[in-house]
Homo-oligomer: A and B are copies of this chain.
Amino acid sequence: MAAAINAVRANCRKVICIGRNYADHIKELNNARPKQPFFFLKPPSSILLPNAGPVLQPRGVIMHYEVELGLVMGKQVKDLDPADTEGAVRAIDSYILAIDMTARNVQDEAKRKGLPWSIAKGFDTFLPISGVIPKSRIPDPHDAELWLSVNGEVRQKDSTGLMLFRIPRQLADISSVMTLEPGDIVLTGTPKGVGKVGAGDVMKAGLSVGGRAIEEAGIEVP
């Protein structure tokens, strides 16, 4: 299992993250609701493997967690038809759970100044991931429950059924801009409840399907 997730990091050439994909999360950050999926990149160097230590808080940075369902791509995808649900599912090799760590104050300043988000999203360790979740464990990626706790207190807990843009639409829009390659990771957006963490806080996250926890999806970041 460790070997499998190490391979995910080693084979990853881009991480594409969907922004503002859950309505209640858009409200909590006072953002505008997008008319189409938008996305940004995190560098593969930001991936934090399981049991690889804590998220490192850069000096002066306010760090927010965002738990997200991740797709590990198994096929090249280009100009996918948004109606091609089966094509989208076929292109996915496996799933991961991930925390899209965000330097919120850096991001707020970037937004204000019209600057890119890459720094706010791209620090080393800013992408803790779970083990590899075999595809068979999640029969319907729009019917799973994500949760994240800080120091034992649940902060995010919502169904992936609340996504504004479903996975085929996400892959269609991404792949109309940039070809998805095997090994690429897509993060599908975060539900409400994002917030601050700092040194000493313990984040845990998980995913359940039909009320049953998926063992491989567990994340614990000291």
Contacts and interface: CB of A to CB of B under 8 A. Distances in A.
A129 to B, nearest CB: 16
A119 B177 contact: yes
B124 A179 contact: yes
A112 B113 CA distance: 9
Contacts of A44: 13-14
A58 interface: yes
A178 interface: yes
Given A13-B13, A123-B177, A177-B122, A115 B38 contact: yes
A113 B181 CA distance: 29
Size class of A's contact patch?
20 to 34
A51 interface: no
B114 A43 contact: no
A93 B110 CA distance: 32
Interface in A25-65: 32, 38-41, 43-46, 58
A196 interface: no
Contacts of A119: 38-39, 177
Given A119-B177, A122-B177, A124-B179, A43 B41 contact: yes
Interface string A148-186: 000000000000000000000000000001111100000
Given A13-B13, A13-B45, A178-B124, A112 B114 contact: yes
A198 interface: no
A89 interface: no
11 contacts: A19-B116, A39-B116, A39-B118, A41-B43, A45-B179, A58-B177, A111-B115, A114-B114, A116-B117, A117-B118, A124-B179
